[in-house]
Structure 1
Amino acid sequence: MSSVQPPVVQLVQAGFAYEDGPPVFDGIDFAVPEGRAMALLGRNGSGKTTLMRLLSGGLQCRSGALRLAGEEVAYDRRGLTRLRTTVQLVLQDPDDQLFAASVGQDVSFGPLNLGLPEDEVRLRVREALEALDITALEDRPTHLLSYGQRKRAAIAGAVAMRPRVLILDEPTAGLDPHGQERLLEVLGRLRDTGTTVVMATHDVDLALRWADDAAVLSPTGLRTGPIEELLADDALLAAARLRRPWGMAVTRLLREQGLLPEDVPGPRTAEELDAWAETAQGTHRPTG
């Protein structure tokens, strides 16, 4: 008997088209394995948002199936409740999700809808606010939040559902560099506590730095695999209209110049390049 566990959520030969439109997907297979961080990449109009909505139950497959832990999802109240307690989607614009008067009320909405006891709802709200580092904002009116605070409040609402898979649509869009770093720290903590995170992004540098795997949508279809492998494929990047990540370009140059052995990982950020340069200088510094 095989001990291999099925993916947490999986599209199997899934097809979808909007009304009176051409097919967006036709027989697509896509699996989200547990415990991995995945970047979903593709040009505008490639189908990223549609794919995320299919995975989270916001859209229903016209053909094929959506499976949760190996079982086909039924699009009735019971089936969708089971899906949405496992998979949560956070939209790009937090104002599309925030609607309650205060942060605490907004974060509590999902758990309350599950019919959980009041003590359990309070516990989940507190945990979510702590996870997103916004405990001090619990009583703050949502309309008085900064853009970055609204982003984190929207994610907290999803985290309060304790999903196994958290899907984020361009979560760093509109954030300044400091805000991006704070959000990435939050996502790192969520990963460390067992949440599988899927992030749709246009930022290939961010994807290379952050993700384990990539899913790349192009006119030729969907490809998934280790992120370093996919983002080193120039033909795939061209088809998807994505540029080569900065870190991979630097690594390729260092290897061509004989400065970086093939078995040594290349720098993914400017900070890693600085650290590598200091180490290299120390290694080759004259001792006489």
Structure 2
Amino acid sequence: MTARAGGEPTAAAPADGPPVVELSHASFAYPDGPLVLDGLSWALPPGRATALLGRNGSGKTTLLRLLSGGLRPASGELRLRGEPVAHDRKGLTRLRTTVQLVVQDPDDQLFAASVEQDVSFGPLNLGLEETEVLARVEEALDALDIAALRDRPTHLLSFGQRKRAAIAGAVAMRPRVLILDEPTAGLDPHGQERLLEVLARLRAAGTTVVMATHDVDLALRWAQDAALLTPEGLHAGPAAAVLARAEHVAAARLRRPWGLAATDVLRAHGLLSPAAPGPRTPEELDGYAG
């Protein structure tokens, strides 16, 4: 499956400011394989929560790795604050102090003996003074609510704890953009809620957060913006508007979000005005009863 540039504007930055990082007309194919992404453009403005959605094999992980510098576009370019990123040591170091990717499986990212050692690895590689490294580690452990686990061997952590430890390692780099590949996969509902609370705190501190997910209900609830990868291209914009486009959602082999269906029912029964936002969760729906 190849995601091409869509036939409509897909990634215009809203009034929050110019993009922190963006791909411009980027294409990519793995060796001896077909194009995965073809002429795709996508920009991430500062301070936004964005959900990236698409079916398996649509290119979501490839797109995230292009944005974070793990892969290099075959054509087009990656830009950081409007400047092209050079895929050399200096250019990638500059990129990774701004953009951090957390992969789906935390066991692919955690490797040190303890949580504290793992979280400190990135800042140490930046050549920071010991006091600065310690400050960043403390900050990241507190942000992810795992300070009590600092001395715990990583292999003794629960799955949810390993997820948060992996994110803490990225947060310790103090990125302006945090990219998460399927961060809620494998978490129970309580674990998902704790993770969303963490992401809310990071966003409140000014971090741009991008989450790849298959969960349309989570995307509608959590994200300000959404981007749908379909065979026809990338369709991006405000989350509710993007997810309301039935043809794009179907092309991505996703279902309609529950909240949008509930909103239509409420409006049809005169319980919600056309201009009012609808419920995003079953809990919010309780407010419309009676």
Please classify the TM superposition score into its range, dividing by the shorter chain length: over 0.9
| Deviation sequence 1:161-215 (CA, Å, 0-9, x none) | 0000000001010000000000000000000000000000000000000000001
Distance in structure 1 (CA, Å) of the matches to 2:74 and 2:90:
20
How much has 1:265 moved relative to structure 2?
A: 1.0
Matched, 1:70 2:82: yes
Aligned partner (choices 33, 40, 61) of residue 21 of structure 1: 33
Aligned partner (choices 43, 56, 68) of residue 31 of structure 1: 43
| Deviation sequence 1:94-116 (CA, Å, 0-9, x none) | 00000000000000000000000
How much has 1:258 moved relative to structure 2?
A: 2.0
Q: Counterparts of 1:75-86 in structure 2 under 5 Å?
A: 75-86=87-98
Secondary structure at the aligned position of 1:178 is classed as helix
Residue 106 of structure 2 corresponds to which residue in structure 1?
A: 94
Q: State which structure, 1 or 2, has the greater radius of gyration over its C-alpha atoms.
A: 1
Q: Counterparts of 1:1-288 in structure 2 under 5 Å?
A: 5-277=17-289, 281=290
Secondary structure at the aligned position of 2:57 is classed as coil
| Deviation sequence 1:115-147 (CA, Å, 0-9, x none) | 000000000000000000000000000010000
- Please tell me whether the aligned partners of residues 17 and 46 of structure 2 are also in contact (alpha carbons under 8 angstroms): no
Gaps of 5+ in 1: 282-288
What RMSD in Å do the two structures reach over aligned CA positions? 1.0
Between stretches 48-57 and 263-272, larger displacement belongs to: 263-272
How much has 1:275 moved relative to structure 2?
A: 2.1
Distance in structure 1 (CA, Å) of the matches to 2:73 and 2:138:
35
How much has 1:25 moved relative to structure 2?
A: 1.2
Distance in structure 2 (CA, Å) of the matches to 1:181 and 1:106:
24
| Deviation sequence 1:70-108 (CA, Å, 0-9, x none) | 000001111000000000000000000000000000000
Residue 5 of structure 2 corresponds to which residue in structure 1?
A: none
Distance in structure 2 (CA, Å) of the matches to 1:4 and 1:128:
26
- Please tell me whether the aligned partners of residues 120 and 133 of structure 2 are also in contact (alpha carbons under 8 angstroms): yes
Secondary structure at the aligned position of 2:134 is classed as helix
Secondary structure at the aligned position of 2:175 is classed as coil
How much has 1:50 moved relative to structure 2?
A: 0.2
The number of equivalent residue pairs is 276
Gaps of 5+ in 2: 1-14
How much has 1:253 moved relative to structure 2?
A: 1.1
- Please tell me whether the aligned partners of residues 104 and 185 of structure 2 are also in contact (alpha carbons under 8 angstroms): yes
Secondary structure at the aligned position of 1:130 is classed as helix
Distance in structure 1 (CA, Å) of the matches to 2:235 and 2:258:
21
- Please tell me whether the aligned partners of residues 16 and 45 of structure 2 are also in contact (alpha carbons under 8 angstroms): no
| Deviation sequence 1:207-236 (CA, Å, 0-9, x none) | 000000001000111010000101111111
The structure whose RCO (Cα within 8 Å, separation 6+) is larger is: 2
Secondary structure at the aligned position of 2:133 is classed as helix
User: Which amino acid is 1:141 matched to?
Assistant: P
How much has 1:260 moved relative to structure 2?
A: 1.2
